[in-house]
Amino acid sequence: MMDDIQPTTDPARPKSPLRAWFDLRGRSLSTLAFALNRLTAIGLTVYLFLHLAVLSLLLRGPDGWDSFVRLARSPLFLTLDVVLLFGVVYHMFNGIRVALVGMGVANRQQKGLFYGLVGLAMVLFVVGAILIYTK
């Protein structure tokens, strides 16, 4: 039966997945949650590869690693850490909401779940950001 569904073309409005996912005009909170989840997922995937590249510096011995640690303590790098922390906590806590709702649990309360879980994530984010800048 799936074969019956064929893609259509629309000369007036060519398809744009990015616009479909990230155009928030006229959209509800749920789409903001959805778009942020996609954005943080892409960011975390990029970070994973960056992280592996950084770890490979260990192959160059102590000098290579020490110079990286000096760079990692710069204000710009710490800010990138804060951005990373946001991505991690948001994706993790919104992911719990998506997993629950996706299994049919509390789907009528999905906005409340968003406020609760992402609110908790933001508290952890703020605490973490303060620790990153002060410790």
Q: Which residues bind other proteins (CB under 8 A)?
A: 1-2, 4-13, 15-17, 19-21, 25-28, 30-31, 33-35, 37, 98, 101-104, 107-108, 110
From the CB of 45, what's the least distance to other proteins, in Å? 16
Measured CA to CA, the distance from residue 106 to residue 108 in angstroms comes to 5
User: CB-wise, 73 or 108, nearer to other proteins?
Assistant: 108
From the CB of 53, what's the least distance to other proteins, in Å? 30
From the CB of 49, what's the least distance to other proteins, in Å? 24
User: CB-wise, 42 or 71, nearer to other proteins?
Assistant: 42
**32, 24 contact by CB (below 8 A):** yes
Residue 20 DSSP symbol: H
**57, 68 contact by CB (below 8 A):** yes
User: CB-wise, 9 or 134, nearer to other proteins?
Assistant: 9
User: CB-wise, 34 or 77, nearer to other proteins?
Assistant: 34
From the CB of 14, what's the least distance to other proteins, in Å? 10
Q: How many degrees, rounded to 5, is the angle at CA 17 between CA 13 and CA 18?
A: 105
Question: 1-6: long-range contacts at Cβ-Cβ below 8 A with a sequence spacing of 24 or more?
Answer: none
Query: Up-side HSE of residue 76: CA atoms within 13 Å toward CB?
Result: 2
